[in-house]
Amino acid sequence: MPLPPTSPSRWLLPGLLLLGFSTPAVAMPTGPGAFCAEYPTAPACQGTQPACTYCHVAPPQRNGFGAALEPHLAPGKPRPLSDADFAAALPAALRAIATADTDGDGAPNQFEVEQGSLPGDATSVPPSGVCGGGENPQFKVCQYDPRFVYRRMLSDFCGTSPTYAQVATFLELGSEDKQRAFIDQELDRCLQSDFWRGKHGQLWKVAHPKIRPVGSVKSGEDGGIIPLADYYDDYALFAWSQTDDHDARDVLTASFFVKRSGTSPTTYTAANTLSSQFVEASRRAGNMTSAWTLTSFVMFTALPRNAASQMYRAYLGLDIAKQEGLHSVPNEPRDYDAKGVQAPQCAACHATLDPLSYPYRNYNGLGGLPNRYIPNRLELLFPNEVATLKNTPEQGVILGQPVNNLMEWARVAANSDAFAISTVTDYWKLLVGHAPSPEENEEFVRTWQAFRTTHAYRVQKMLHDLIRTEAYGAP
């Protein structure tokens, strides 16, 4: 089934592939570049690449747009097309159907692409340019309204609504510039509140799908009946990375841990060691190597594909199961553990997933010495597995870039557009209430680009930008 039209994975996320038109489907790494060369100003190409779902419901099944493209892609050439033939043919095929309306929603394909909606999905339509209707005596409908933002910001970041006296004092400030300056001051105050940064606060809510807590196997504070690992350590590092003047990339790259203490305000303090964590400093990669991650996602697995795919999904917003973030590596998958991943229906994803997983080779989950980096782990702990398993390298590839180990994997991931986009998307969904829509794409792109460059990955500074957008501030 297609994803909802507002999901960023449809048209905002980087590293995605168009798939070739053949049976079985094969990944076409050159497709996104050719697409974006034809439509360089499309929202799908603003630091990102289009998803497979532009042309497919689920590969190899094509949607209306993909089906319309097929007869124009190098007609007469034998299938499957080579990468070079596919890239050469795609621009002309796109032009051939530019004025058609393949999903029947009344908008030509080219217009949909340029506006950020999906030409193969009738439920995804271009922005209408029409906002609201009628008058509202309280707020400026369809315009940025500081009074509306003040009320919304206090609720979102402090967990309270302003009193009548507070609203009256705010309005007495007079000019919009003074009101905006006061909102910024109040935002900084609220970001110190336990509602925002404390145990089970808003930041922890953002972290839930990344950490995926299971109370029954938690150790430490609030431990469960089978205490295996303490995921509060993961929440602490995540909250540290998102607060004060800390670098958000620490969540992936930190060689330190973080302790949580106190309330009102809750504080987070960096620590070189924790009794609940076992990976030595030289092998740490933030929450990618926490005891909880290794327990929950590596478990007893020889080649931890689940761990790699969860980190890719959680921190880069790229879900390989949805054909996102595919960067096929030549001669992959090698199938070192003999799981049958070279089968045609598997290979298109595993040509990306397996090289992502190799740097986890020596990180142990459960069994043997749990939650540690163990040199030659596969040889020591899996002596009776298939003989080729020991040939699994620790070197891998992420986003098309070779890496020697998991620490390099983390640095490449943390410095990518995908990380910045995914981080800002998390807060956009929390605060605006949905993933960025086509109407909001210009503001969204401006916000994540500033987060990466101007603000050097500081979330607190990015949040000041986010609450100044019309997406957040226009009732």
Could you report the per-residue pLDDT of 126-138, keeping only the tens digit for each? 877 666 655 666 6
Return phi, psi of residue 64, to 5°. Answer: -60, -35
> What pLDDT does 105 receive?
87
Its pTM stands at 0.86
Q: Is 128 helix (H, G, I), strand (E, B) or coil?
A: coil
* C-alpha Rg value of the chain to the nearest Å: 24
Give the SS3 label for residue 230.
coil
CB-CB contact of 129 with 142 (8 Å): no
What separation in angstroms does the CA of 356 have from each of 209, 291, 321, 406? 20, 20, 14, 9
Measured in Å, how far apart are the chain's first and last C-alpha atoms? Answer: 32
pLDDT of residue 48: 66
**pLDDT confidence of residue 124:** 83
> pLDDT under 50 in the chain at which residues?
1-28
Q: How far is CA 130 from CA 123, 126, 133, 180, in A?
A: 18, 11, 9, 26
Query: CB count, 10 Å around CB of 154?
Result: 20
**Amino acid code (one letter) for 391:** N
* pLDDT value of residue 401: 97
Classify residue 111 by burial, with Cβ atoms within 10 Å: 0-12, 13-18, 19+.
middle
Report which of 47, 53, 63, 37 is spatially closest to residue 3, judged by C-alpha positions.
Answer: 53
The bridge status of strand 56-58 relative to strand 61-62 is antiparallel
Specify the DSSP class assigned to residue 229. Answer: B
383 CA to centre of own chain: 36
Token representation of residue 66: 């993909």
Instruction: Give Cα 377 to chain centroid, integer Å.
Output: 30
Find all residues with CB under 8 Å of 216, minimum gap 6, and list them. Answer: 224, 225, 226
pLDDT at position 452: 97
pLDDT the model gives residue 229: 98
Q: What is the pLDDT of residue 13?
A: 31
Tokens at 2, concatenated: 């297609």
- Residue among 88, 124, 89, 101 nearest 7 (CA): 124
What are the phi and psi torsion angles at 267 (to 5°)? -120, 150
- Dist. CA 97–CA 327, nearest whole Å: 27
Asked if residues 8 and 62 have their Cβ atoms less than 8 Å apart, the reply is: no
Task: Tell me how far apart the alpha carbons of residues 348 and 323 are, in angstroms, rounded to a whole number.
Answer: 9
What CA–CA distance (Å, rounded) separates 86 from 32? 11
Task: Give dist(CA 375, CA 390) in Å, integer.
Answer: 12
